[in-house]
Amino acid sequence: MDSIVSKYDSLTSYELTEHHLVRANPWIINTLQNTDYYKMMERDSFVYNQKKMIALPKGNLILIPDSIQAKNLLKAFQKIIIDINIPEFKLRISEDTIQLSEFLVRVGRNEKKYLEMSGRVQDLKTKTGEGYIVNHACNTRYINPTNNHEYFVTKRDDDKVTKLPQIPFIETEINGLRHGQLIHPTINPISLGKVYSNGCIAIREADAWVIYYYAPMNTKVKIRYDLNIVDADGKTLVLKDIYGYNKKS
């Protein structure tokens, strides 16, 4: 994707980005979603190294948005909000008041633990607040924060061992602070809907591609802890207080 941007950026009257390209060619997201390890396994296709997969074969036609289309895309990007409700284990993408997508996530554990990566005891709960996306880590490295060791292979939920995928991680800044609280894909989706991580918000591989391409730099992010919600049928639900914030002292 970077090579296409580099090739055609000089021919456009605006600064062409991969987000422009992919949003103007939504089939690309569908193609990338289908590289998800578990989607491939559903098609009886085991992939040891996803990095060797050719997602966009030579000969595919890609639309380069004109200046009007680019302007409309920019307006749409500026209206995007990433909304995460921790006890609901849900991440939603909205454009203004219109919800576009909803994904199941996992969140940080309700405990404190020493992490070698930071060199101190950390509260692993996912932190609430409002902020922005401040970085995309495209050349991802997988590091165990407990011992600060980098790893290159992983055991999947089906007990098969594979190399790690190269899907962008999204870094957030919440309430003006960068906690290292990332939005990133998990290689073990069995953990979704659970209090499981070291504070990050994890989603399926396929979902990570959607979020990445709908959320360029400076996209607004809201992380909340709302126990009282209204479901799709209009019923009021009270969620489990997973962090014990509402316990009486």
Break the chain down into helix, strand, coil percent, rounded to 5: 25, 30, 45
Residue showing tokens 């060791």: 149
Separation CA 186–CA 79 (nearest Å): 27
End-to-end CA distance of the chain: 54
Other CB atoms within 10 A of residue 35 CB: 19
DSSP 220: E
Active site residues: 184, 200
CB-based burial label for 34 (10 Å; 0-12, 13-18, 19+): middle
